[in-house]
A and B are shown apart, each in its own frame.
Chain A
Amino acid sequence: AQSVAQPEDQVNVAEGNPLTVKCTYSVSGNPYLFWYVQYPNRGLQFLLKYITGDNLVKGSYGFEAEFNKSQTSFHLKKPSALVSDSALYFCAVRDSDMDSNYQLIWGAGTKLIIKP
């Protein structure tokens, strides 16, 4: 069965420091992996995705994520956090071998708090 785990409910980082939001996954086939962000009182926005190719993917707002197949992880990173990065972050996965099923499996979400 497909699943996504975000082990941290909340991550606190000082502004200017690097940040990491963790995500691990489980699929039977090859994964499509996604990060979405939800700012307060707003809808979800797509940040970045891994489909194939380079394991390091870059996305919006200076975020990047590294696909690690051996560790089944797709951690979200940013070299220098901004207060405006404070939001709820969701990791999601889809099994690429299930082309007829476009559903995403969602993690529980991680609240990122950047303190000035």
Chain B
Amino acid sequence: SAVISQKPSRDICQRGTSLTIQCQVDSQVTMMFWYRQQPGQSLTLIATANQGSEATYESGFVIDKFPISRPNLTFSTLTVSNMSPEDSSIYLCSVSPGTSGSRRVGEQFFGPGTRLTVL
């Protein structure tokens, strides 16, 4: 299984500022995902980030608000820009190392999350 770390683990930010969340994986993976989760709620996919290509954003999420970098196969960042209290949430990084035909197909491994509070 992949081991994923995220920085920071939590932060309290002022309205209008930006925060960059880092995601580091201990192995090379092609597929990386960024999710948002309200405590006790389901996961909402923000975007899929593949190394070497532009991130693909889900409906309701735009690159200007959530720019993503994916410089190599073990690292990604998500920036939450011009934050408002509505951005307060847990942000999760996830990877999917399995490919078609692999016994690990479909499994996703998650980082511990970044708990963001915007005042």
- Hey, which bits of chain A sit against chain B, CB under 8 A? 32, 34, 42-46, 49, 51, 88, 90, 94, 99, 102-104, 106-109, 111
Contact = CB atoms under 8 A, between A and B. Distances in A.
B92 interface: yes
The 6 closest A-B pairs by CB, nearest first: A44-B110, A43-B110, A32-B106, A43-B112, A108-B42, A99-B100
Contacts, number: 48
A44 B92 contact: yes
Nearest to B100: A99
Contacts of B113: 43
B33 interface: yes
Interface residues of B, number: 23
Contacts of B112: 42-43
B32 to A, nearest CB: 10
B19 to A, nearest CB: 19
Among A45, A49, A107, residue most surrounded by chain B Cβ atoms (within 10 Å): A49
Contacts of B106: 32, 34, 49, 51, 94, 102, 104
